Chains A and B, each alone.
Chain A
Amino acid sequence: MESFTFSSKEKKYSFILMGIGLLLMLFGIFTNLENPTRIATAFMYNNVFFLMIALTAMFFIAAHTVGWGGWYILLRRISEGMANYIYVGAILTIIILALGMQSIYHWAQPGAAAHDPLDLLAGKEPYLNVSFFWIRTIVYLALWCGFTWLLRKNSLQNDLNPSIALYEKSKVYAAGFLFVFAISSSTASWDYTMSVQPHWYSTLWGWYNFISAFVTSCAFLSLFIMYLKEQGYLKEVTDEHLHDVGKFMFAFSIAWAYLFFSQFMLIWYANIPEETGYFKLRAEYYPLTMYITFALNFIAPFFILITRKAKRTYGVMRVLACAIIIGHWMDFYQMMMPAALKENHMAPASIGALEIGIGLLLGGIFIYVVFHSLSKAALKAEGHPFFKESVLHHT
């Protein structure tokens, strides 16, 4: 049984990452004290970004479990480690919302609906009100954490006493999670990222958020695979497995571009003021963020990851995985920050020490959580009935 030791060197590096993040974050907070919206939104979008990555890692496991997938079993413990960040993300979500909800969400301020010049917020009040928002948040977080705990427990039990009964049970849990996630990934995206701009809505927003997070989750997965392989772990994981993860990165980068463009073209073509507000704001004040996002999230993965060889070359995969992570991090930035600043009557700002600092801090915590969970269990889920299929996997 192979097990992973979380070496002191790795611990040191993840603490250094968190430390740099913390310093940048404190610097950012002190230079933006007059702008609580920016501080709170920076925390919220980074938190949603990493929480969604953890959730889509969970989705990766659940979708493969329900779909009788066998090839991913060798990678399963890494995905489980990523999913374990959900607990941290849940706590952070509650803290950030408790402290900064009114700074981020314009509609949550007292009297926002009554003084709305467009008179739209009053109509949305049955859904967009503070108490229902909190109820939804608690329900999402409880369900997400619950299913993560159940699937992880099932997987660890299966290590000790491999049995088909446990495998059948895991399919029930996975199906339950998928049902919950299908609904909650959409509604949570409306709540956390779309309601920042409460007068505007997009019907494919939930998918757009989900795919953005899923492709980032696959990028993180590929980075962890390559790191562990280079440290001498996971001998059975071959280029075939990395190739399949690369296919996910490639395919979902295209899916992201598809949704991005669908949203853009319909708004551009119809040219209705209440819809174009979304792109006008970003094209006017944040054009660079938009172009870089599009280049990193679609152009680069499409033209570079298209060949078979690129998906099997560590150097290429590593660079592309980093590009995708940075690109989607910027995408979450441009989903929330421009709108939050505008709705709260603040001047447009660009990505600075504050955002990068919080990103590094949460990224460091994320990496720490993954390595910590990897070290707590066997590195390979050898009791799983499809384990051999994963070892023999050939694309």
Chain B
Amino acid sequence: MEHKYLVGFFEDEEPLVKATVKMRKAGYQMKEVFTPFPVHGLDEAMGLQETRLHTAGFVIGACGTLTAIGGMSFISAMDWPIIVGGKPFFSAPSWVPITFELTVLFASIGMVVIYYLRNRLSIFREVEILDPRTTDDRFAMVFDRKQYHTDEDAEKMTSLLKSYGAIEVRPVSLKNELHNNLFKQHDDLDYLEEKYLHHH
């Protein structure tokens, strides 16, 4: 099955961020924006929800903490107590470095794994690239034709994108569907307009 998208290409980040806010102000929510490098403020302009990756990192890190403390107290205080340096079997201060290391190890590896899973990145999966130029010097703003399916919408979006500085607007069909971003339910567009259009 083919998935249809309307893509506007931009040459620079500044018109891109401005056009993002303007398009949303006009009532069109983009599905995704592809950039060759991270663009500051784009996530906020797009209305993306804050990532939950750090929450996952905290939880996994806490699992690491518990694993370390539980493991060491079981081994050196219950299962096989040995006196080391005249310290008590259950000597918390000497465990802090290892607890710290395991926390960091769990959190970092866990976050990498979750990041790959969530973004469906894998060496076993063939990657379909929207346009190779987005890895080089072009910025692509993608609208879902499923969401805006009428020809009227397509024409309106094309003319709007062009008037906001897009150098090229064309439909693109992909075999795989772009995965869904989580967007904010309620976003203050006036605030964004003030911040990104007037202030900058």
Nearest chain-A residue to B86 (Cβ)?
A: A271
A269 to chain B, nearest CB (A): 6
> A124 in the interface, Cβ–Cβ < 8 Å?
no
- Given A271-B86, A308-B50, A394-B41, A265 contacting B58 (CB threshold 8 A): no
CB of B178 within 8 Å of the partner chain: no
Task: Give bound CA distance, A261 to B92, whole Å.
Answer: 12
A264-B86 CB under 8 A given contacts A306-B58, A392-B200, A394-B41: no
A265–B96 contact, CB under 8 A? yes
Alpha-carbon distance A394/B50, docked complex (angstroms): 15
Mark contacts of B88-127 with chain A using CB atoms, 8 A cut-off: 1 yes-contact digit, 0 otherwise. 0000011011000000000000000000000000000000
Residues in B whose Cβ lies below 8 Å from that of A394 = 40-41
Write the nearest CB–CB distance from A393 to chain B, whole angstroms. 9
Within 8 A of B (CB), among A352-395: 391-392, 394-395
CB-defined contacts of A285 to chain B, threshold 8 Å: none
CB atoms of A264 and B93 under 8 A apart: yes
User: B132 interface residue, CB < 8 Å from A?
Assistant: no
Report the minimum CB–CB distance from A361 to chain B (whole Å).
Answer: 38
Q: Which residues of B contact A30 (CB under 8 A)?
A: none
Q: How far is the CB of A263 from chain B (nearest CB, A)?
A: 12
Measured in the bound complex, the distance between the Cα atoms of B91 and A264 in whole Å is 14
Q: Which residues of B contact A238 (CB under 8 A)?
A: 195
With A and B bound together, what is the CA distance between A264 and B96 in angstroms? 11
Bound Cα distance A395, B41 (Å): 8
Which residues of A265-324 have CB atoms within 8 Å of chain B's CB atoms? 265, 268-269, 271, 306, 308
A265 B50 Cβ-Cβ under 8 A: no
On whether the beta carbons of B93 and A265 are closer than 8 Å, the reply is: yes
C-beta contact mask, B67-99 vs A, less than 8 Å → 1, else 0? 000000000000000000111000001101100
B85 is contacted by which of A269, A308, A395 (Cβ under 8 Å)? A269
Closest residue of chain B to A258, judged by CB?
Answer: B100
Distance from A193 Cβ to chain B, minimum over Cβ atoms (Å): 24
**B195 CB to nearest chain A CB (Å):** 8
Known: A394-B40, A394-B41. A261 touches B96 (CB 8 A): yes
- When distances are taken between beta carbons in the complex, the residues of chain B under 8 Å from A264 are 93
Q: Which of chain A's residues has its CB closest to B39's CB?
A: A394
Interface residues of A in 43-80 (CB under 8 A from B): none
Residues of A within 8 A of B86 (CB): 271
With both beta carbons as reference points, the residue of chain B lying nearest to A388 in the complex is identified as B200
Report the minimal beta-carbon distance from B25 to chain A, rounded to whole angstroms: 20
**Contacts A308-B50, A394-B40, A394-B41: A265 and B200 contacting too (C-beta < 8 A)?**
no
> A-facing mask of B45-82, CB < 8 A → 1, else 0?
00000100010001000000000000000000000000
Q: Which B residues are CB-close (under 8 A) to A308?
A: 50, 54
Cα–Cα distance between A217 and B9 once the two chains are bound (Å): 46
- In the assembled complex, the Cα of A269 lies from the Cα of B96 at a distance in Å of 12
Residues from 113 to 127 in A contacting B, C-beta threshold 8 Å: none
* Bound Cα distance from A136 to B121, whole angstroms: 60
Taking the closest CB of chain B, its distance from the CB of A235, in whole angstroms, is 10
Bound together, the chains give a CA A306 to CA B62 distance in angstroms of 14
Q: In chain A, what residue has the closest Cβ to B43?
A: A394
Name the interface residues of A95-137: CB closer than 8 Å to any CB of B: none
Most chain B CB atoms below 10 A, which of A238, A269, A271, A306: A269
Task: Say how far A129's CB is from chain B's closest CB, in angstroms.
Answer: 37
B94: chain A residues within 8 A (beta carbon): 265, 269
CB contacts (< 8 Å) of B195 on chain A: these are 238
**Chain B residue, CB-CB nearest to A270:** B85
- Bitwise, A241-266 to B at CB < 8 A (1) or not (0) is 00000000000000000000100110
Contact B93 A268 (CB under 8 A): yes
Which residues of B have CB within 8 Å of A391? 199
Docked complex Cα distance between A213 and B56 (Å): 33
* Closest beta carbon of chain B to A268's beta carbon, Å: 5
Q: Which residue numbers of A lie inside 8 Å of B, CB to CB? A: 238, 261, 264-265, 268-269, 271, 306, 308, 391-392, 394-395
13 pairs across A/B with beta carbons < 8 Å? A238-B195, A265-B93, A265-B94, A265-B96, A265-B97, A268-B93, A269-B85, A269-B93, A269-B94, A271-B85, A392-B200, A394-B40, A394-B41
Nearest 10 A/B pairs, CB to CB: A394-B40, A394-B41, A265-B93, A268-B93, A392-B200, A261-B96, A269-B94, A308-B50, A265-B96, A269-B85
Given contact pairs A264-B93, A265-B96, A271-B86, a sample of 9 additional A-B residue pairs in the complex whose CB atoms are under 8 Å apart: A238-B195, A261-B96, A265-B94, A268-B93, A269-B85, A269-B87, A308-B50, A308-B54, A394-B41
